[in-house]
Amino acid sequence: MIMPCPSPYAAVLILCACLAASASAALPYVQASPQLPAAMSWSGTRELTAGSVDAALLAVKSDTYSPDTQLRLFKLGALNARQRNNVEAVSAFNAVNKGSAALAPLAMEQIGDIAVAEREDVKAMSAYSSALKAQGLPVKYRHYLFAKVRPLAGRGVPLPAGAPWVEEYRKWDRARRMFDASGLEFICDSLAAAGLVAEADSLLERHLPELNKREACGVVDRMFRKRSSDSTLTTKFLFSLASQSHDCRSLVTAERFLDQAQKRADFAAAVPARKAALLAAQIAFGREQWQKAADLYKKYDAAYGPESDVIMSAARAYRNLGNAEQAQRWYELHVKHFPSHAKTQEILWLRAWNQEEQGNYKAAAAGYARIFNTKGKRTEEAYMRHALCYYRRQEYDSAIVHLTTFQKKFPQSSYLWSSMFWQGKCLTALKKTDEAHKIWGSIIKLDPTDYHAHRAAQLMGPAAVAPAVSASPLAAQMPENQARKWLESISPSSSKKALTAQDSVDLRRGAALLSVCRTDIADFFLENFESNYSGNLLLQYDLAIAYALAGNEARSFRVSRRLAWRIPMDRRERMPLQVLSIIFPPFYAPTITKHAERFNVDPLLVSSVMRQESIFDAGIVSPAGAIGLMQVMPATGKNIASELKVPFTDDSLYNYDYNIRFGTFYLRKRLTQFSGDHVLVLCSYNAGAHNAIKWRDKNRKLEHDLFVEDIGFYETRGYVKKVMGNYWTYKALAETPGYEYDLPDFLDPYPWVNEW
């Protein structure tokens, strides 16, 4: 069956209904169509994305522009299948199968789906077999078709004799039956039900390591949660299950398995003592049994010598016990034994940071300097903090020297704009305003959407920005054909390679699938173009637009974000509005505006948070368990649902409307709590309100730029800058003719409107 398009998001149309093939969808600043392939018609896609199959079918039937009869037939087949007009659908797909070698496998797949729905399994097998005979199908698509063949074969439908794909299918099926989680569980459960528990455990012991971590965790949890006896398990496997459960954060289960294994007479022979000692300490640490963990780590260190992870865990256990003296002793041991280790860098960083917080800037500068020759993620930021220590002491000339040294040493650093920004701050403090503005103007030219570029523009003021850069507006308005020429002109020469014959076919297939909103399947054919033609910026632009037009915001932004990274810095000033619009898209704008108006929140702030939190992926889940577009934790969602008096399950957060409503409501609460201060609101969104309060109370007297630099968590400092950069960029775009967001008039005049 044709998969349904995503729920209607009118904002997609604002950005992407830019195809000449559907003139009513055109934006004021867009006049040409994506080249997927050239002259392709996208009629009906807009209507299908908006949720109306009837309107989509009418649009395709009325389309007299399309030069591609086979694509039109394919869309008619797909839309009729959605309407369950199976006779019309099969007729159209059969015509495509006869008339287009490129689209034939896609058409036959759909005929197979229709046959399955009509319980004509033999016809379905024949159709899928025909699709699989096509040359050059991506492996992922072949496996996708295999998954459709498998239940038919399971119901007794014979595989076509002599078909070239059958042997590959059999290998795929054997691997899947034996090694996937559900297959392994099924076999083990069947053996156990027959009284062959020992045989089931033996099979599980052999094949559990072949599963990925997530699958293995699920198998262990489901198969051993209620098991009363582990007597059939070998001691070695018991210990393996203890390790597996620890890795899965099932610590009570891990402790149980380890305890059972340790009681076995053969434990010493079956399990290395070193591994057992380490696992026991790790389980105690994970269960927050701090004293037990500290004692076990101390015993391990005495028996086996220094290890980085052991020393750091012992230090943290003592720190959690409130024993600062012992914690410091273990940190010192780490510095002694592992002077160039990344964790040593963290120890040195923490010491220097604490000294800086205490106002001992000279000692802090020396501490940061010790980090320069260590390995880890803090090295470049240590140079920045080192220079800031001189800024705090009002030794501006020295700070400039250190910042200049940093820029020469790390010309590609992610802290380059920060270093230039603070260089300008130092020059301003020295009354060298013209020099400061020259440096700040360079940031604005090279990366105008960056946080530091916006801050520089704010400090310079509108009158000073225009002379410092060629023109002050963020984006350039130009006809679509000129924007496309601009993208071609900045693409590296290596991107000029022509598509291979097979890639041309894949592009045609992917585009056809996008035209009927089958974006997940289209990705099987199109992902190749993101990696192998990444320098073809015009192609990447077209892919981003096409994914958005087909209703897949996450994939559209995945492409456009990579496109943004590949635009040369010297060409980022005044990018075409079309290009900047797909890098900062107005996805979900109607839904955002609806809830933002209800809770009196600036919708541009919601978009800015969403862009950073989830990259517009409604199904994304963080390692910590936060879900969806606004990355709402289930526990937080439950509390919000109670306040809003709406029903709730964890799965509610995958619903884009629920998720946006809950995230916007949470922003409203934090805006009220922190009197509209965006920085504190974002601190609380990322790190919790308690940390935002702590940083506010501790650093309330600092100038704003130092306040941001003194946010206590590395991740949160970066998060605040990125979201504020998003927000200021969205604000500038919202004020640019041609960029539509449907902003309401309800917003209150918060004190942060003029941004510091």
Report DSSP state, residue 136. Answer: T
440 touches 406 (CB < 8 A): no
Q: How many residues does the chain have?
A: 756
- Pairwise CA distance, residues 637 & 652, whole Å: 9
3-state secondary structure of 752: coil
261 touches 233 (CB < 8 A): no
- Pairwise CA distance, residues 754 & 414, whole Å: 27
b/e map of 304-321 (b: 16 or more CB within 10 Å)? Answer: eeebeebbbbbbbbbbee
Single-letter code of the amino acid located at 339: P
Report DSSP state, residue 475. Answer: E
Could you tell me where the DSSP H helices lie in 372-495? 379-392, 396-409, 416-429, 433-446, 451-460, 462-468, 480-490
Cβ atoms within 10 Å, residue 647: 7
20 touches 545 (CB < 8 A): no
3-state secondary structure of 5: coil
Q: Considering just the CA atoms, what is the radius of gyration of the chain in Å?
A: 30
DSSP 550-577: TT-HHHHHHHHHHHHHHS-GGG-TTEEH
Which two structure tokens, joined as six digits, stand for 227? 């098991």
Which two structure tokens, joined as six digits, stand for 641? 């649902």
3-state secondary structure of 621: strand
Residues involved in catalysis? 613
Report DSSP state, residue 208. Answer: G
Which two structure tokens, joined as six digits, stand for 278? 């380490």
470 touches 444 (CB < 8 A): no
